Structure 1
Amino acid sequence: MRIYLFIAVVAACATYLLTPLIRHLAIQLGAVGQVRKRDVHTIPTPRMGGVGMLCGFAVAILFASRIPFLQPVFHANKQAWVVLIGAILICLLGVADDVWDLDWMLKLAGQLLISVFVAWGGLQIITLPLGTLVTASPTLSIAITALLIVVSINAVNFVDGLDGLAAGIVAIGGIAFGIYSYKLAQNSPSYASLATLIDIAMVGICCGFLLHNWHPAKLFMGDSGSMLLGYLITCGSIIVTGRIDPASMHSSVYLPAFMPILLPILVLFLPVLDMIMAITRRLAKGQSPTHPDRMHLHHRMLRIGHDVQHAVLILWGWAALIAFSSLMLLFFRPLYVLIVFLLAGALLTVATLLPYLKRRWEEGDFDEQDKQTIRAVAQHVRSHRHH
């Protein structure tokens, strides 16, 4: 575990130190986000922060390749280098969009080509949960893998609307998935795990970038960053899912074996939900799926009455609740997990609606009994935050 923590620190430090240089480069290239109607920021802000994160990730991977404990990960196959090459390509595509604002069809085609290349390079989902584990054909494996990567890339891209939001959500997911892949690796002859390495390095670059991206942000991650994070978190999950042997499966380990498939969905639940809602909303209005609006989850949080920082922290809380509750199913009884989930969910619901409730209180929309109930719940939320 100490080696993985060291890799995370290396990734964070490299990202933090290199990001100011990328900010200067973004200004020189004209990759500056102008203020649009749907934007929350009020002054033009440089983009391309994803290049700083890519540099941090590459430094961490190169460091890891020289550590004896992790060298078997690099010698076993070429997956680590395929992931790194794919990360460079997807980040470069994002840079092109940050600088020239590519047409969405062209960007989607580029995402698909890079995803197919990565899958063709050996990063594939080989087995599928169809009642039992079924081995997919090579063509089907490549298609499913590429589709999963593209969906994740765009899900993170959709949720990247407030300073620190996307980086925080992906970091939370990376921590949850890193814990799972590390525990899974303990059952193997070597604790070294490429999935854990990718997740931990990803958490590191998110933390290093957040120091520049916290509100008010000095730099946006741009498409180069959001697409990179969506790509990396999916690669980690695919590597774990990878090549589960159907013949070795037993019903007692069925859930743990498929947690690599479930966790990415649950970790990216908020981004995927936001993406589905946005696409459905726009198609219902006869608009393009990429037509901009101010109806994303983070926009709704601001409309309720939260400021940017509180909105981000609450959305982080929801992401952590979903990700870690799914992880805890592997260690605790489902009933206990459900109880904690409901209690934490109730507190987060109150925290989410608190500005709205406060506004209605001031407008006199509650009777005395309602006010007493709200006072009690608010006091409980404040005491929970204090602890």
Structure 2
Amino acid sequence: MKYYLFIAIMTATFTLAFTAIVWRVGLRYRLYPAIRERDVHKTPKPRIGGVAMYFGVLAAFALSSQVPYFSIIWAKPSVVWSVLAAATLIVVIGVADDLWDLDWTIKLGAQFLAAGIVVGFGGFQIFYLPFGTQLVVSSWVSFALSVLAIVVVMNAVNFIDGLDGLVAGVGLIANLVFFVYTYLVLRDTGASTYSSLAPFIAVVLIGVCIGFLPLNWAPSKLFMGDSGALLIGLLMATAALALIGSLDPALLGDNNAFGRSQLLGAFIPIVLPVVVVLLPLLDFGMAIIRRMGKGLSPFSPDRKHLHHRMLDMGHSDRDAVLVFFAWTAVISLGVLLMYIGTAQDWDAGYWPGVAFVLVGIAACIAVTLLPSASRAVPRDAADAPSSSDASASVDPPDSPTHPDAPAPNEPRTA
């Protein structure tokens, strides 16, 4: 555990330093597009924070190559390099889209290519599905399902990127839960070492999100952009596939290593990785149905995402983000408790987790649907923070109206 903690701390430190540098570069070279009608923010801010997150990921992997504990991760260099190559491609295409607004077909094609690199060269695949007796899928079905899963998760995470700190915070919570889960699974399946790629990627994302949040929390100084959101989605999906693909299907049958409940034991390796991104997946699914129902492209932008709806209900930007955090924590922690209760042979089994989810959902619904009087007060547009889904705009940083502009006779910081 101490090695994972070391990686998380160092990754957060590296990412924070890179984020400060990228922010200054973004201001100096005015790397921000115009504000769009659907955007929440009203002042221009750099939208290339994903570059800093990417450098944080590179630093973490480079550091791991020098730590003997993680030598097993580098036992097959092609696996690591496939992940980094896909991450590089997705960040490059994300930055290009953030700056020049690429056609959605180009972005989607790049996402499928990145997913294909991870699956084809890295070997991250869904080899079986736990339906009754284990269903082992054919190689081409495995490839197609795995690529599709990565692309869906990438877009789902990107779709919720609309408020300051939202994706970074959700990513932090989701990966904390996923890291604990993978660590417990390695223990319960009798793994010879806790050093594995799935928990390593999760802990790297924890560090990246922690390091990025200080400059992205409301009121933010910069956004992660598509490059950052797609990077988080890519790595989360890759970590999930790394875990699922490494499990022996025999462990999920009768008397499985995941506890007394065959049903829960069989499905938990797939359920929890999905649950930690449940909110993004829900928003993604609703958007696809909504847009295709109108005869539009599923990737045509609009202002009807879940975070937009919460703002329209009267929530402030920051409160809406905290509500999202609560939903993510309740669902993911609840399923984690179900696993722990079953695997540890608690007398109550998975019912404590079920109770936690039910009570938590009730509380989240109350907070979501009944905003307080203070939340119902119209938001001050000038103070409205924004997201990496947003862009930059009207007043350049040189303008005295820009919040990051230097005072008269004050030297520029960028």
Aligned length in residues:
360
- Correspondence for 2:350: 334
Is 1:270–2:292 an aligned residue pair? no
The higher-RCO structure (CA 8 Å, 6+ apart) is: 2
Work out the CA distance in 2 between the residues paired with 1:343 and 1:157.
Answer: 29
| Deviation, structure 1 residue 289 | 1.7
CA contact (8 A) 2:33 2:99 kept: no
CA contact (8 A) 1:175 1:199 kept: yes
CA offsets per residue over residues 163-193 of structure 1, 9 Å max, x none? 1111111111111111111112222011211
Over the residues paired in the alignment, what is the CA RMSD in angstroms?
1.9
Work out the CA distance in 1 between the residues paired with 2:362 and 2:374.
Answer: 17
CA offsets per residue over residues 279-303 of structure 1, 9 Å max, x none? 2112222222222222111111111
Equivalent residue letter for 1:205: V
| Greater helix content | 1
When residues 31 and 195 of structure 1 are mapped into structure 2, their CA distance, relative to the original with a 3 A threshold, is same
| Deviation, structure 1 residue 357 | 7.5
Work out the CA distance in 1 between the residues paired with 2:99 and 2:175.
Answer: 28
Unpaired runs of at least 5, structure 1? 361-387
CA contact (8 A) 2:33 2:100 kept: no
Work out the CA distance in 2 between the residues paired with 1:77 and 1:260.
Answer: 25
- Correspondence for 1:96: 96
When residues 42 and 141 of structure 1 are mapped into structure 2, their CA distance, relative to the original with a 3 A threshold, is same
Is 1:5–2:5 an aligned residue pair? yes
Stretch moving more, 138-147 or 285-294? 285-294
- Correspondence for 1:154: 155
What is the TM-score normalised by the length of structure 2? 0.82
| Deviation, structure 1 residue 81 | 2.6
- Correspondence for 1:182: 183
Work out the CA distance in 2 between the residues paired with 1:224 and 1:148.
Answer: 18
Work out the CA distance in 1 between the residues paired with 2:136 and 2:27.
Answer: 49
When residues 358 and 214 of structure 1 are mapped into structure 2, their CA distance, relative to the original with a 3 A threshold, is closer
CA offsets per residue over residues 133-154 of structure 1, 9 Å max, x none? 2322222222111100000000
- Correspondence for 1:53: 53
Equivalent residue letter for 1:309: R
Equivalent residue letter for 2:40: V
- Correspondence for 2:288: 279
CA contact (8 A) 1:155 1:275 kept: yes
Unpaired runs of at least 5, structure 2? 257-261, 342-348, 377-414
CA contact (8 A) 1:164 1:213 kept: yes
CA contact (8 A) 2:253 2:266 kept: no
Work out the CA distance in 1 between the residues paired with 2:375 and 2:71.
Answer: 58
| Deviation, structure 1 residue 34 | 2.6
Equivalent residue letter for 1:231: L
CA contact (8 A) 2:118 2:124 kept: yes
Q: Does the residue aligned with 1:141 lie in a helix, a strand or coil? A: helix
Is 1:143–2:144 an aligned residue pair? yes
- Correspondence for 1:344: 360
Work out the CA distance in 1 between the residues paired with 2:167 and 2:313.
Answer: 20
- Correspondence for 2:321: 312
- Correspondence for 1:164: 165
CA contact (8 A) 1:127 1:243 kept: no
CA contact (8 A) 1:149 1:231 kept: yes
Is 1:250–2:266 an aligned residue pair? no
| Deviation, structure 1 residue 197 | 0.5
Q: Does the residue aligned with 1:274 lie in a helix, a strand or coil? A: helix
CA contact (8 A) 1:163 1:214 kept: yes
Stretch moving more, 109-118 or 286-295? 286-295
| Deviation, structure 1 residue 129 | 2.3
CA contact (8 A) 1:38 1:293 kept: yes
CA contact (8 A) 1:181 1:193 kept: no
- Correspondence for 1:353: 369
Work out the CA distance in 2 between the residues paired with 1:248 and 1:299.
Answer: 43
1:300 to 280, 300, 309: 309
Equivalent residue letter for 2:35: V
| Deviation, structure 1 residue 130 | 3.3
When residues 10 and 297 of structure 1 are mapped into structure 2, their CA distance, relative to the original with a 3 A threshold, is same
